[in-house]
Amino acid sequence: MKGNFMVRLLMALLVLAIFSAYSYVRAAYTPYSDELTAAASAAQAPLEIAATPAPESTEAAAEPVTLSEPTPAPTPDPTPEPTLDPNSPAGRAAALGLPAPPDIDITSWEYVLVNGTHSIGTYEPAELGYLNQTGDATDIQTAYNANRCAVDLRIAQALLDMALGCREAGLPIYLSSGYRSYSVQQQNFKRVCDNNGITDGKDAEGYYITMPAGCSEHQTGLGVDITDKYYEIKRNDIVASATLEWLSEHCSEYGFVLRFPEEKRPITQVMGESWHFRYVGKEVAAYMTENNLVLEEFVALYGVE
């Protein structure tokens, strides 16, 4: 028994020695041994609570937020205005500060230019219409009638409508003179020149008071002298009337224009005639009236010189 006890004691001492040696080696070669020791010491020290400053207001501490502007969508380049051809009607009008003129065929019959430098020779309208001179009768005749006013048949209805409009306004009207043939204008030219002691049909200022045959608008059948009653001699100082005022204001509504305004004499080369109206159609009459143009100025927009 005693022998067994000694064996067990020796075995216990051996185990203890081995454990001690193992603990020593472990402590010597473990990197965190000092930190563990310090941590163990700190755990035994009294706990000190450091004063922590109160956090500042969230609003004060927060950085200001800047909202970026949304990126605008790219603006498309504007479509450039088409460049006007300076030799086109619109281009010529624009150069004068005028709106674009009507899109017309300037060679059409109603735009023919007749004056001292534009002769139509012995031209005759294809067909004439004859109107009652005072608008008392509203029929349009096509057979010759010396007691009626003759005009190009194509403008007869428009002229009749204007005469009736004037009468409805309570004003008298007299279709004094319409179409004159080449031969009749020859006689008229000679008579006026003889009565005024001239040979070229012009007054002292160089403006026509009568036109040579071939150069008179009456020969086209598109021009007509209109007064309030019959006058043997027409002059602005004796034929001025409410009728002419009404016609001047409303003629474009029927397709007519005042052909020879007093202030346009340097352009027309004709003395002012407040009684002479010319058919050009409603669209052109409106444009000419709105822009204060005479026929010479209007056709020049289309290259007619």
Residues taking part in catalysis: 273
H or E segment and range at residue 5: helix 2-29
**How many other C-beta atoms can be found within 10 angstroms of the C-beta atom of residue 70?**
6
Residue type, 103: D
What does the alpha-carbon distance between residue 274 and residue 259 come to, in Å, rounded to a whole number? 8
What does the alpha-carbon distance between residue 104 and residue 5 come to, in Å, rounded to a whole number? 143
Contact (Cβ atoms closer than 8 angstroms) between residue 94 and residue 100: yes
What does the alpha-carbon distance between residue 68 and residue 18 come to, in Å, rounded to a whole number? 74
Q: Which residues pair with 249 in a beta bridge?
A: none
249-274 per-residue burial string, b: 16 or more CB within 10 A, e: under 16: eebbebbbbbbbbeebbebbbbbbbb
